[in-house]
Structure 1
Amino acid sequence: MIGLFHVPFLASLEHVPLHQVMEVWPAVVPVACAAGAAMAVQLVLLVRRWFRHRSLLKRAWLAAEEGATDGDLLVLADSDVDAFALPGYRGRPGRVVVTSGMLRTLKDGERDVLLAHERAHLEGRHHLLSAVVDLAAVVHPAVRSLRQSLDFHLERWADETAAAVVGDRRAAAAAIARAALAASSRSRTVGYPLLSATSGPVPQRVAELLLPEPSAPQGGIRQAGAAGMGMIVAVVAVGTLALAYGLHEYVEYAARQLIGTPSGCSGLWNMVHKLFGE
């Protein structure tokens, strides 16, 4: 187990000579080089993905500059049926972007549902959650399976908020179904980070809206979502600290085994040692 931490960089931090590490584990250099190359590739992919997000956001803002604004609403003179939440960019606040084709497709009450849905995305800063998961999936394939589920729950969050705003769940369901049906074959696919009421598994979302309102404390789904985001941040922070501390303990133990310094393993190492052995 301690051989995993016999890498040149960690050895230098612990003042352990490289030749002494190589005597214990001859494969340290090729393994360290392979790990470094893998990390470099992941870094390149991560940076490329980030710039792709920024480029998409920039193009969306350039296209939106041709529209007419009314508060946080930006209407594009376009026959395509489309609507999405456009996050803020370079000091400009977020906007709800709707094409004239979408406005003509929906009835008055249905327009209110659509606008409330997209505003919920902006107010909840859903694009940040989407970005974090999307970037994490680049460096950890296991996270990719979460992306579709996250998108669905973000849309459900916005659906419930819109239904609460208009006070009619059936009207909200009808508006989302009509908008998605009209946009399915005509609107452009904008993807991240432009969250839209017409994306995701719309039939399942509509079915959920036709059910009775979920029981929730005052503040409903918004408070639950905020609590969920706080919990995610807390778990990631605590997990990162725990992993860093555990890595430190492993390296300290490896150094003690190599250079023969007095042992004094911490409680964390003792626990790991009992569970897994050397």
Structure 2
Amino acid sequence: MTFVLVLLVSALALPWGAAAVARRLAGVLPPREACWVLTAAALLMAGGSIAVLIGLFHVPFLASLEQVPLPRVLEVWPVAVPAACVAGSVMLVQVVLLLRRWSRHRAVLAHAWQLAVVGTVHGDLVVAPGDDVDAFALPGYRGREGRIMVTSGMLRALKPREREVLLAHERAHLSGRHHLFSAVVDLCAVVHPALRSLRESLGFHLERWADEAAAAVVGDRKVAAAAIARAALASSRKRNSSGYPLLSVTTGSVPQRVEALLLPEPVVPQRGVHRAGAVGLAGTVVVSAVAAIASAYGLHEYVEYAAIAVRGR
């Protein structure tokens, strides 16, 4: 049982360190690969945490199914029932928070599509009248295909080639389905507080992914950098209070993004220290999830062992 307790503590504590590891790993990878790493890490750690809670919650029920008297279970592990109650309460809170978070996501999209109704449609582009300077990728909603929402003020603030960068950037968000990455990590952050730090990191790398795609379309990294800087300076965009902002060229750490575009295009490390470090960091993230799943399995095996002991009497 000591082994199971060690796994439980490890499974619940490791995500704090694993989240930092995932962010560092993302920092040495190109934006596209970084986004996949952060999203996969969030899913693994959230899934592991849920596995631990389910394992704790099911101990008394598994004991009853195996016809093991609850007093016998409490003799070996006195905290079995309190732990099951705590785990059940935490899972209930998680379900409520997940539903609330999902509702906020849908509310943000619904509001954005209401704004798109008053705009002029040009293919996948919706131009909204007004002096506000704003632009964002509008994911598909209720059967409607994704659109790029741009205000007249934003178009006036940019030069012709910079407009190309803007549109290519937002199209990259849509074609790459970046809103799904953002939503997945945002929901995972509800499961374990350690994963909240991954949201900001993912947002930065999603914007970097779209930046690189836009630079490739226009064929000039300096023009892309200038467009992003000008759009951010002119933007009047306000972050919504839901914590789930729509993907926009003006979000994230703009100075870092501009600086990255003034450097050569990033490549995936192929050999040497970078590759070894990336593999090692990825392994650390996986270990945290494996520990969580192993702890849940260990709890099940503990009940099985208790059942065999009772039958052998």
TM value normalised by structure 2? 0.70
> CA–CA distance in 1 between the matches of 2:105 and 2:135?
19
Secondary structure of 2:127's aligned partner? strand
Does 1:169 find its partner at 2:221? yes
Answer yes or no: is 1:132 the counterpart of 2:181. Answer: no
Q: 1:81 Cα deviation (Å)? A: 0.2
Match for 1:188: what amino acid?
K
- Find the aligned partners of 1:257 and 1:21 in 2 and give their Cα distance: 7
Question: AA paired with 2:238?
Answer: R
Question: Do 1:57 and 1:193's aligned partners in 2 also have CA atoms closer than 8 Å?
Answer: no
Q: Does 1:105 align with 2:157?
A: yes
- 1 CA distance for matches of 2:96 and 2:224? 43
Residue equivalent to 2:171: 119
Deviation at 1:34, TM superposition (A): 1.8
Q: Alpha-carbon deviation of 1:67? A: 0.8
Output the aligned Cα RMSD: 2.8
> Gaps (5+ residues) in structure 2?
6-55, 270-281
Ranked by relative contact order (alpha carbons within 8 Å, sequence separation 6 or more), the top structure is 2
In the alignment, structure 1 residue 255 sits paired with structure 2 residue 304? yes
Match of 2:239 in 1: 189
Contact 2:169–2:213, Cα closer than 8 Å, also in 1: yes
Indicate whether 1:42 and 2:94 are aligned: yes
Secondary structure of 2:121 counterpart: strand
- Equivalent-residue separation in structure 1 for 2:207 and 2:168 (angstroms): 12
- Shift in Å at residue 9 of structure 1? 1.9
Question: For residue 35 of structure 2, what is the aligned residue in structure 1?
Answer: none
Q: How does 1:222-237 map to 2 (within 5 A)?
A: none
Question: Do the aligned partners of 1:176 and 1:206 also contact (CA within 8 Å) in 2?
Answer: yes
Q: Evaluate the alpha carbon distance shift between residue 249 and residue 153 of structure 1 in structure 2; reply closer, same or farther with a 3 A threshold.
A: same
8 Å CA contact 1:16, 1:255 repeated in 2: no
Cα distance, 1:32–1:250 mapped onto 2, change above 3 Å: closer
Task: Give, in whole Å, the separation in 2 of the partners of 1:251 and 1:151.
Answer: 38
* Contact 1:117/1:162 (<8 A) preserved: yes
Question: Helix, strand or coil for the counterpart of 1:7?
Answer: helix
Q: Aligned equivalents of 1:44 and 1:89: distance in 2?
A: 23
**Structure-to-structure mapping, 1:150-161, within 5 angstroms:** 150-161=202-213
> 1: CA distance between counterparts of 2:239 and 2:289?
36
Sort the Cα spacing of 1:35 and 1:101 in 2 relative to 1 into closer, same or farther, 3 A. Answer: same
Match of 1:275 in 2: none
Contact (CA 8 Å) 1:14, 1:252: kept in 2 or not? Answer: no
Conservation of the 8 A alpha-carbon contact between 1:68 and 1:75: yes
Q: CA deviation at 1:71?
A: 0.9
Counterpart CA distance in 2 for 1:71 and 1:241 is 47
Q: Deviations over 1:38-77 (max 9, x none)?
A: 2111111111111111111111111111111111101111
Which stretch shifts more, 202-211 or 251-260? 251-260
Aligned residue-pair number = 244
Q: Measure the CA separation in 2 of the matches of 1:116 and 1:93.
A: 17
* Unaligned stretches of 5+ residues in structure 1: 218-231, 264-278
Q: Which of 81, 89, 110 in structure 2 is aligned with 1:29?
A: 81
How far apart in 2 are the matches of 1:62 and 1:245?
47
Aligned residues with identical type, % of pairs = 66
2:259 to 182, 207, 220: 207
Residues 126-157 of structure 1: CA deviation (Å, up to 9, x unaligned): 11011111111111111111111111111110
Q: 1:62 aligns with which of 110, 114, 124?
A: 114
Question: C-alpha separation between the residues in 1 aligned to 2:298 and 2:82?
Answer: 24
Q: Deviations over 1:3-56 (max 9, x none)?
A: 766831232343322232233333322222122112111111111111111111
Q: How far apart are the structure 2 equivalents of 1:12 and 1:71?
A: 61
